[in-house]
Structure 1
Amino acid sequence: MSTNVYDPEREAELKAEAEKYIPPGYDPDLYKIRHSAAHIMAQAVMERFPGARIAIGPPVKDGFYYDFELPRSPTEEDLAWIEQRMKEIIKGKHRFHVREVSVEEARELFKDQPYKLELIEGLARGQYDEYGNKLPEDQRPKITVYQHDTFIDLCRGPHVEHTGQIKANAVKVMRVAGAYWRGDEKNPMLTRIYGTAWRNRVELEQYLKRLEEAKKRDHRRLGKDLAIFAIEPQMVGPGLVLWQPNGAVIRDQLERFLKEEQIRRGYQPVYTPHIAKVELFKTSGHYPYYKDSMFPPMVVDENEEYLLKPMNCPFHIMIYKQHLRSYRDLPIRFAEFGTVYRFEQSGEVSGMTRVRGFTQDDAHLFCRPDQLEDEFKSVVELTLKVFRSLGLTDFRARVGVRDPESDKYVGSDEVWEQATQAILNALNDYDFDYTVEEGEAAFYGPKLDFVVNDVLGREWQLGTVQVDYNLPQRFDLTYIGEDNQPHRPVMIHRAPFGSMERFVGILIEHLNGAFPPWLAPVQVVVIPIADRHIEYARSVAARLFQQDLRVKVDDSANRMNAKIRAAQMQKIPYMLIVGDKEVEEETVAVRLRSGEDLGAMPVGEFEAKVRQLVAQRTMDLW
């Protein structure tokens, strides 16, 4: 591809304009470093694989990727060559030039690149941007190309000024994956090469260490080692979780915790079916918006179509409609641990964090407009209590509002303004920071999301609270006001955990499988030193069991140190060692899974302390 003359003055304008494409919250310097590194990697790949066809290469969280159609799968040797070649290109200090081109010139530049030509056609029609994302009807993009050294790409930027602004020792090619062109499984499967780039070598090394720690904490590995969950893709199906007994204990304790809190706050439990007629979701508006992520309809009862439940809110609305409601009845708070089903693509399901069947700690509140702010605050306080109880104290709040350029939202401007203002008013009473981000709203209303940082600094979107004026209108919900006239209630959708499966998967990684005493599947293991101590060990276990503690006896033939090690590997909080002295004095020698030896104490003292910690649902071991 030939080099063209670049106009410095116009270049400066285009580069300044490109800065607006940096996503909110993404460090601008890192974004430009990674975007530039993606282009450098593409150049290296095309040199390694002459004739390769290139697709797109954006920055992503912690790195970048580029998609290619290659003649063969890259080997480890190929990846090492590509990384070394990237370092050489970086040291060349090649400038990144940009210019605007016509449709005809773009077609000529990329005449041998079919994926680029497809993107160019979308740009020409004003329908899509350089990454194939749909654009608002009134936004017609410029067609710009960036060039460094011999490589030219269809791109809107931004980039660093020259390759030398990237540290060669802060760039690494990470891995290879498959990806369908434009995310559609009907399209060709491309080779996606991931890389990462940082400001300097120290930052890169810190990131690689975090990745190693993340591997150790991977919930898929720990979930298997600790017998928390299983997935059997061949016989049961991908993305469908089998909760094993240990996992069921964790889930049950979380559900009990939230149910207790909800009862204190006036929630009423409900149960709803796992299937319903398609008409229910057409009325709610979910069907046209989320049809592609729902399981296909089932035809029953003389050609009537039913769907596996993809969400709970329409069912709760139908429960509300069963009775005539008075203003005195409101607020009404329906809560359900409701299992729903989403047809995630098979390549996207992952452990417990991306599944096809999951249980939401769902609730829907129906209130008068004058009650909305107080109800919203109450939900926020409940969510914060859940987070504090599980040590999730590092978070940010995000107010998701509609994108004014998008047509995916329903309802009038007036109700959207009312709902958004209600959220912002409620947040004035809290001391945590929040951001307002366009395009993050649900299709029916704005929402508040809590984005939690785990111990490795990774972000997870957990609790959500949504304000909804639209579904009450779509289902014609009413209550009789003081004036004896019908009025429209407002809905709040909320789920502090979100998905039980995803939440537990995140907790496993955040806690490295070491659940606090109140959540641990087995809280205490009694370890007899010799066979003659087994009877006493069993009597201690029976006493603790009577006090609702989850306890077992390790009466295996293993030596004591092996039993202690096994208990530590299973992350059991308390190990009670019993030998001749403990039997004689009716005591237990207490060890914590952290390795701390607390020495001997009366069984009653241990029992009282642990019961107190469990009742308080603290994160502390002692």
Structure 2
Amino acid sequence: MSDLTISIVDGEGVRPTTVEPGTKAWQLFAETPEVVAARIDGELKDLSADLVDGQSVEPVAIDSPDGLDILRHSAAHVMAQAVQELFPAAKLGIGPPITDGFYYDFDVEEPFKPEDLDAIESRMRKIVKEGQKFSRREISDDDAREELSEEPYKLELIGLKSSADGAGIEGAAEGASVEVGDGGLSIYDNLKRDGSLAWKDLCRGPHLPTTKRIPAFKLMRSAAAYWRGDEKNKQLQRIYGTAWPTKEALEEHLHRIEEAQRRDHRRLGTELDLFSFPDEIGSGLPVFHPKGGVIKREMEDYVRRRHIEEGFEYVGTPHVAKEGLFYTSGHLPYYGEGMFPALDLDGQEYRLKAMNCPMHNLIFRSRQRSYRELPLRLFEFGHVYRNEKSGVIHGLTRVRGFAQDDSHSYVTPEQAPDEIRHLLHFVLSLLKDFGLDDFYLELSTRDDTKDKFIGSDEEWAVATQVLSDVATETGLELVPDPGGAAYYGPKISVQARDAIGRSWQMSTIQYDFNMPSADRFNLEYVASDGTRQQPVMIHSAKFGSIERFLGVLVEHYAGAFPPWLAPVQAVGIPVAERHEDYLYTLGQRLKGAGIRFEVDSSDERMQKKIRTAQTQKIPFMLIVGDNDVENDAVSFRYRNGDQENGVPVDEAVTRILEAIASRAQV
């Protein structure tokens, strides 16, 4: 047989290479141990894959996104093997890689205890040390049923795949696409060094060559999870773990988790008395306490002023509307599961609004519009309600009732690119004012294989191209999000990284050619030639939701807000009770200058009061003793512990006001 010619694609470019027949992918990268898989003609494959003449082969490093998924998927298999070795009656669910880790679901008689996780992790280390080989083999549906006859959940997945006529079952179950791919089935055997079978699982792969290639892992926790994410199904036990290319990377990840726990806005919200979630009100429905209300008001005042400066007009709309309005907008047909059930009022069905745009459209349509009025920009703090599943509600970052700084720009098609530039500049400057300055953009487009999108191919192409062009102009990283668009049009999402590097979806800008159409709201303006034309509608939320943005800020700042946002900007601490009157008099002056000031007149000692102020993360402490009273001064202390004594009161006031005006962190 003649030699094979393949192309190796790597950082050096495309390199044609001649190899012998029967060569496997691993032989191309034997000198590069960080390579754990190969992308052959665009498809991820195990390193054990045989090469064919004319193929393009790209190495996949363990620290690449695909490599990390493969590492974590392999670790999930090792965990499942360890569980079944320790708990032979356990039945297998699914075990996909997820962001920063993996999980596997099990049907077991009793929930896993912490000591069980310790034992499972210990057994995993043994399996890793043995260097078991991940070996893939193709299998028919019938043979798979026979081999896995004692695994009811795997049998269900096989049945779903078969009923789809070989088209795959992606979307049929959370993570199921990891277990069963398009077309035929495959099983991965974990083989011991003598070739005997240690364990097997239904899976499409790929996997690492051997278990020994799993450098660092840790089991994190267990939790209950419904099979395939459906509350009607049986509740299984899910074990979460994490795996990394090096022990150092694992330690860094664990440190980030500790830091994230320290910054958890739910805990800090209670400690700083910002907000709560009373059971009597309901899950996902927060109430803001006075201190949280200060931050919320500052956010609202800021964004209201900025919208007016940016040419928006403030409007207001009700919380409920007749159900028919949301059929006109398309929300009930395409977003109905996210809306609360109908309310019967005087024989008519009403809905709590999940969005403000339908009502803004009615404001636009309330009278004839001229092209001279465009862009017409409408803005409100619209309180909306979304029927989120209980399992996804999370503090302020995923709630059922929230306020949006919601705006809609009505423009001519020719004006759309400039309006999107204007909105994107507005959004980025706003985020920077709140201390977020590390961004990337995500472009969400439609998925042509799904029917949840409306509008013509041409309209989608134009809208997507406009958003893409404007996003590219910013110079920021642009990440594709196929299928993530709203049903009515594509969108740009601004993703901001916080102080510890986590990404949060913040603001969105959406291009909508559907709602203004004759089939929906029939919005029109009179063009310069006297004809009636349809505007383009651009949706934009700068905070996204005030509640979620506030939750992100709590975690970004770890509760230590910059002075302009801090609920209490300065606290007066008397050395002794006789100094309190001086501080109350000083407080009138500070409050007159607009500074949020309190006096700690508790019976605690001075040092305890300082510790309390630091725990409450108050930016400035004004400590007063006898000398300060005599000299009209204070000891000026920052929350980081720095302190200057004998600072004149005028200077202290100026420092605080300058810190507030600059929006700087101290």
Q: Same fold (TM over 0.5)?
A: yes
Tell me if 1:261 matches 2:306: yes
Deviates more, 1:152-161 or 1:380-389: 152-161
Q: Secondary structure at the match of 1:175?
A: strand
Q: CA deviation at 1:294?
A: 1.8
Structure 1 contact 10–99 (Cα < 8 Å) conserved: no
Q: Secondary structure at the match of 1:410?
A: coil
In the TM superposition, what whole-angstrom CA distance separates every residue of 1:514-538 from its partner, at most 9, and x where no partner exists?
Answer: 0000000000101111111111100
Give distance in 2, aligned partners of 1:282 and 1:46. Answer: 51
Q: Secondary structure at the match of 2:573?
A: strand
Q: CA deviation at 1:502?
A: 1.2
Give distance in 1, aligned partners of 2:281 and 2:469. Answer: 47
Which residue of the partner structure matches residue 5 of structure 1?
A: none
1:553 maps to which of 591, 599, 617: 599
1:164 maps to which of 194, 208, 212: 212
Q: Secondary structure at the match of 1:457?
A: coil
1:99 maps to which of 133, 137, 145: 137
Tell me if 1:285 matches 2:333: no
Mark the runs of 5 or more structure 2 residues left unpaired by the alignment.
Answer: 1-21, 27-36, 47-59, 192-197
Q: Secondary structure at the match of 1:96?
A: strand
2:361 maps to which of 317, 323, 326: 317
Structure 1 contact 18–157 (Cα < 8 Å) conserved: no
Which residue of the partner structure matches residue 621 of structure 2?
A: 575
Give distance in 1, aligned partners of 2:133 and 2:437. Answer: 44
Give distance in 1, aligned partners of 2:137 and 2:324. Answer: 51
Give distance in 2, aligned partners of 1:209 and 1:403. Answer: 38
Structure 1 contact 11–99 (Cα < 8 Å) conserved: no
Aligned partner of 2:606: which letter? M
Which residue of the partner structure matches residue 141 of structure 1?
A: 183
Tell me if 1:343 matches 2:379: no
In the TM superposition, what whole-angstrom CA distance separates every residue of 1:20-61 from its partner, at most 9, and x where no partner exists?
Answer: 899xx9712211110000011111111222122211111011
Scaled by the length of structure 2, what TM-score is found? Answer: 0.87
Which residue of the partner structure matches residue 79 of structure 1?
A: 117
- Point out 4+ residue stretches in structure 1 off by more than 6 angstroms: 8-15
Give distance in 1, aligned partners of 2:529 and 2:64. Answer: 52
Q: CA deviation at 1:156?
A: 1.7
Give distance in 1, aligned partners of 2:124 and 2:403. Answer: 46
In the TM superposition, what whole-angstrom CA distance separates every residue of 1:550-577 from its partner, at most 9, and x where no partner exists?
Answer: 1011111211111111111101001001
Structure 1 contact 11–98 (Cα < 8 Å) conserved: no
Give distance in 1, aligned partners of 2:356 and 2:313. Answer: 15
User: Cα distance 1:131–1:491, how it changes in 2: closer, same or farther (>3 A)?
Assistant: closer
Give distance in 1, aligned partners of 2:488 and 2:189. Answer: 43
Q: CA deviation at 1:140?
A: 5.1
In the TM superposition, what whole-angstrom CA distance separates every residue of 1:218-271 from its partner, at most 9, and x where no partner exists?
Answer: 1111100000100112x1111110111111110110111111111111101111
Which residue of the partner structure matches residue 295 of structure 2?
A: 250
Q: CA deviation at 1:133?
A: 4.8
- Pairwise mapping of residues 178-577 of structure 1 onto structure 2 (< 5 A)? 178-233=224-279, 235-302=280-347, 304-473=348-517, 474-577=520-623
Q: Secondary structure at the match of 1:589?
A: strand
Deviates more, 1:348-357 or 1:249-258: 348-357
Q: CA deviation at 1:14?
A: 10
Structure 1 contact 14–98 (Cα < 8 Å) conserved: no
In the TM superposition, what whole-angstrom CA distance separates every residue of 1:360-396 from its partner, at most 9, and x where no partner exists?
Answer: 1111111111111111011111111111112211221
Q: CA deviation at 1:545?
A: 0.3
Identity %: 46
Q: Secondary structure at the match of 1:328?
A: helix
Q: Secondary structure at the match of 2:516?
A: helix
Q: Secondary structure at the match of 2:388?
A: coil
Q: Secondary structure at the match of 1:375?
A: helix
Structure 1 contact 295–307 (Cα < 8 Å) conserved: yes
Q: Secondary structure at the match of 1:435?
A: strand
Which residue of the partner structure matches residue 646 of structure 2?
A: 600
Q: Secondary structure at the match of 1:470?
A: coil
Deviates more, 1:324-333 or 1:287-296: 287-296
Q: Secondary structure at the match of 1:347?
A: helix
User: Cα distance 1:26–1:331, how it changes in 2: closer, same or farther (>3 A)?
Assistant: farther
Give distance in 2, aligned partners of 1:132 and 1:117. Answer: 14
Structure 1 contact 399–435 (Cα < 8 Å) conserved: yes
Which residue of the partner structure matches residue 3 of structure 1?
A: none
Q: CA deviation at 1:596?
A: 0.9
Deviates more, 1:529-538 or 1:145-154: 145-154
Aligned partner of 2:438: which letter? D
Q: CA deviation at 1:293?
A: 2.3
Structure 1 contact 477–488 (Cα < 8 Å) conserved: yes
Give distance in 1, aligned partners of 2:596 and 2:44. Answer: 57
Structure 1 contact 120–130 (Cα < 8 Å) conserved: no
User: Cα distance 1:164–1:448, how it changes in 2: closer, same or farther (>3 A)?
Assistant: same
In the TM superposition, what whole-angstrom CA distance separates every residue of 1:175-215 from its partner, at most 9, and x where no partner exists?
Answer: 01111111111111111110111112111111111111111
Give distance in 1, aligned partners of 2:502 and 2:43. Answer: 28
User: Cα distance 1:60–1:140, how it changes in 2: closer, same or farther (>3 A)?
Assistant: closer
User: Cα distance 1:140–1:75, how it changes in 2: closer, same or farther (>3 A)?
Assistant: closer
Structure 2 contact 39–45 (Cα < 8 Å) conserved: no
Give distance in 2, aligned partners of 1:158 and 1:507. Answer: 39
Q: Secondary structure at the match of 1:19?
A: strand
Give distance in 2, aligned partners of 1:214 and 1:399. Answer: 27
Aligned partner of 1:373: which letter? P
Give distance in 1, aligned partners of 2:460 and 2:97. Answer: 32
Q: Secondary structure at the match of 1:456?
A: coil
User: Cα distance 1:154–1:278, how it changes in 2: closer, same or farther (>3 A)?
Assistant: farther
Aligned partner of 1:598: which letter? E
Q: CA deviation at 1:110?
A: 2.1
Q: CA deviation at 1:406?
A: 2.2
Q: Secondary structure at the match of 1:153?
A: strand
Q: CA deviation at 1:435?
A: 2.0
Which residue of the partner structure matches residue 126 of structure 2?
A: 88
Tell me if 1:153 matches 2:153: no
Aligned partner of 1:161: which letter? P
User: Cα distance 1:219–1:491, how it changes in 2: closer, same or farther (>3 A)?
Assistant: same
Give distance in 2, aligned partners of 1:353 and 1:437. Answer: 21
Give distance in 1, aligned partners of 2:472 and 2:124. Answer: 49
Give distance in 2, aligned partners of 1:249 and 1:300. Answer: 36
Aligned residue pairs total 605
Tell me if 1:19 matches 2:44: yes
Give distance in 1, aligned partners of 2:665 and 2:82. Answer: 52
RMSD: 2.2
Q: Per chain length, whose mean CA-contact separation is higher, i.e. which structure has more relative contact order (CA < 8 Å, sep 6+)?
A: 1
Q: Secondary structure at the match of 1:477?
A: coil
Give distance in 1, aligned partners of 2:535 and 2:460. Answer: 15
In the TM superposition, what whole-angstrom CA distance separates every residue of 1:405-436 from its partner, at most 9, and x where no partner exists?
Answer: 22221110111111111112223432222122
In the TM superposition, what whole-angstrom CA distance separates every residue of 1:263-283 from its partner, at most 9, and x where no partner exists?
Answer: 111101111111112211122
Which residue of the partner structure matches residue 56 of structure 2?
A: none
Q: CA deviation at 1:144?
A: 2.1
Give distance in 1, aligned partners of 2:362 and 2:45. Answer: 45
Aligned partner of 2:155: which letter? L
Q: CA deviation at 1:130?
A: 6.1
